[in-house]
Structure 1
Amino acid sequence: MSSVAWQQFLISQGAQFNPLLEATFALPETPAPAQLFDLSTNGLIAVSGDDAQTFLQGQLTNDIKQLGQAAQFTGYCTAKGRLLALFYAFSINNIIYLQCSRTLVPDLVKRLRMFVLRSKVVVEDVSEQFVMLGLASADSATPIQHLPLHPHQGSQTPLGTVIRLADSHGKQRAQLIIQAGQAEQAWQTLSATFSPASTSQWEALEIQAGIPQVYPATREQFVPQMVNLDALDGINFKKGCYTGQEIVARTHYLGKVKRRTLLATLPETTATPQAGDSLQDAQQQEAGQLVRVAPNQQGGWWVLAECRLEAQQAGSIFWQEYALAFADLPYLLP
């Protein structure tokens, strides 16, 4: 099933699509305790072949050898240690999948193929071969079937592969990876007990869980620690060399990280904040940039904001004339 056919199916199920190609559904009168989300704004890169693991070990920040049954965050850096992408990596049937913003996939596939050389590795864009769905359920709601015990663990189900994600905003969360040909049936089965909800609401849950993302507007803007990849166990400092490793290791071993990504809200604004937008301190000096943005159902916006910690501790940080209201991340920063 093509992405166009999948969109047409969701439209038949009551969806509309915004300019970001996020599925939007009408808000129910009362918040649904169990929700179903379309995650087609994510893309998938498949890396297979006898040398796939060894190849990726020399490209990514995390230890690919530890994938097994558990997914992991990992970064893909330039030689200068700047993130080209932030992947959520997992393995199914001995194929390694790298999930990221779909807008980045074509360029990343080309770049990864440049470094394959004589290795027995195949790098493919398989975004059209799978449909990814998100599930979120409050404790009192319909339980997510076949949910593994711990975050980032996966299991096989009759509908596809389910991976448990970090809880967010009091909800258990999971991601389903489904063969495209089975996606319509899976959606209809799940929507009998999980209420279809807008992709932007899933984005808000991701932000509340402190999960960053890299987009075209923020490519090569961050060293991994600036978006908390170390706090998310997305960097292995013992695995050996990979592209950008010297800079990432130096940042870790030679001093405290001076810029971090923090959770915050913005009030209702006249313009729409976007990832990559700059932030200023009270003296109108550069203070950071927005990493991830989603609407807040109570009004305004949820954001992840990469900030100079010194500026954030000294006073208010602003997007345009609006001050960010900072909240606690759900994990500790090193």
Structure 2
Amino acid sequence: MSTQDSQQLAHSSGYALLSDRVMARISGPGTDKFVQGQFTQHVDEVTSERSLRAAACTHKGRAYCLTRLVRDDEDLLMDFDASQAEATMNHLKKYLMLFRGTSLEILPTARIIGLIGEASAASVAGDSAHALTQPGQTLQVGDSHLIRIENTADKAARYEWWQPTGEHPVPDDIPELAVEQWLASSISAGVPWLTEASQETYVPQMLNLQHLQGVHFKKGCYTGQEVIARMHFLGQLKKSLHRLSFNNTQQPPAVGAKLLADGKNVGEVVNAVMTGEHKGEMLAVMRHDASANALSIDGMDEASIKLEQLPYAVPEQQPSDT
């Protein structure tokens, strides 16, 4: 990859077919009650004009699923990592059994398309797309949903185009991007995703989900709520998601690779992608008191690490006055 390519990797305009994700539909009379009891988001705030992130957690408050909730008439749509979808759905269906007549099913022909750039969104939805200025704002396009999501650190606009039927072709004037470019844009935007190696590892706040419209602290009881609420209201969060760049390596660090400061483990890699020759970006959950130290990656002594700014505020990462 050339230097020019690497400089543009995270913010080139275009589209990427997110083939690593699948879409599911929850339908039936118990849809909202089921979601309310299993996810960190308040389901009443998910409307035809507003889509929100959410997590599903264990009883210990550890996230095993990060998803997005999209209102589709009386139903709710959500997405899963394709490699984890079957296991995640099997787990959720244990709770769904309590709601007679309510189902959770994968939509086999559905697809999710990532869009970067306001021009790409306008090609899909016309001038109406310009009304989408804030993360979560949603516009119905036929039977599909165009959702504004978080900008990259360079302020490139990003969107997701949810197609439950998969019948909407991408306009010819939108160039196709590699999936790696979309993943790089997500890291630049400070938006993590879970893999098999990171499931059930983090409380949602450690992944900054409360700053990504993913946690509602005033809703009723749900699985894992006690731990999540205690961490929030008692100020017990000691580590959270940071964005970092790395250089002088031919491959990205593995998920779960340890971050070291003065030889001590201060965090671990959540997501990483190469953005150019010998360089890339990553998201890592790291102790707040370690961010000012010189960092290294365990087992990658040649790599240099630099802390980068997230495009949204994380007050918990600021030094305490006390």
- TM-score, normalising length from structure 2? 0.86
CA contact (8 A) 1:135 1:144 kept: no
Q: 1:238 aligns with which of 206, 218, 231?
A: 218
Q: Is residue 276 of structure 2 the alignment partner of residue 276 of structure 1?
A: no
Q: Is residue 139 of structure 2 the alignment partner of residue 182 of structure 1?
A: no
Distance of aligned partners of 1:83 and 1:280 in 2 relative to their CA distance in 1, 3 Å threshold: same
CA contact (8 A) 1:260 1:309 kept: yes
Q: Is residue 141 of structure 2 the alignment partner of residue 157 of structure 1?
A: yes
Question: What's the secondary structure of 2:219's corresponding residue?
Answer: coil
Q: CA deviation at 1:139?
A: 7.1
In the alignment, which residue of structure 2 is the partner of 1:9? none
In the alignment, which residue of structure 1 is the partner of 2:57? 77
**What does 1:183-332 align with in structure 2 at a 5 Å threshold?**
183=168, 186-187=169-170, 190=171, 192-283=172-263, 285-297=264-276, 299-319=278-298, 320-321=300-301, 322-332=303-313
Aligned equivalents of 1:261, 1:125: Cα separation in 2: 30
Q: CA deviation at 1:194?
A: 1.2
Distance of aligned partners of 1:231 and 1:307 in 2 relative to their CA distance in 1, 3 Å threshold: same
Aligned equivalents of 1:241, 1:90: Cα separation in 2: 21
Aligned equivalents of 1:154, 1:193: Cα separation in 2: 22
Q: CA deviation at 1:203?
A: 0.6
Q: Which runs of 5+ in 2 are unaligned?
A: 316-322
In the alignment, which residue of structure 2 is the partner of 1:97? 77
Aligned equivalents of 2:291, 2:158: Cα separation in 1: 31
CA contact (8 A) 1:227 1:261 kept: yes
Q: CA deviation at 1:233?
A: 2.4
Give the residue type in structure 1 aligned to 2:180: S
Q: CA deviation at 1:218?
A: 0.2
CA contact (8 A) 1:45 1:105 kept: no
Give the residue type in structure 2 aligned to 1:331: Y
Q: CA deviation at 1:101?
A: 1.7
Q: 1:109 aligns with which of 77, 81, 89?
A: 89
- What's the RMSD between the two structures over aligned residues? 2.5
Q: CA deviation at 1:65?
A: 1.3
Q: Is residue 173 of structure 2 the alignment partner of residue 173 of structure 1?
A: no
- TM-score, normalising length from structure 1? 0.83
Aligned equivalents of 1:333, 1:33: Cα separation in 2: 26
1:2-40 deviation line (CA, Å, top 9, x unaligned): xxxxxxxxxxxxxxxxxxxxxxxxx79x98953111111
Q: Which runs of 5+ in 1 are unaligned?
A: 1-26
CA contact (8 A) 2:40 2:214 kept: yes
CA contact (8 A) 1:287 1:317 kept: no
Aligned equivalents of 2:56, 2:141: Cα separation in 1: 30
Give the residue type in structure 2 aligned to 1:333: V
Question: What's the secondary structure of 2:185's corresponding residue?
Answer: helix
Give the residue type in structure 2 aligned to 1:49: G
Q: Percent identity?
A: 25
CA contact (8 A) 1:280 1:288 kept: yes
Question: What's the secondary structure of 2:291's corresponding residue?
Answer: helix
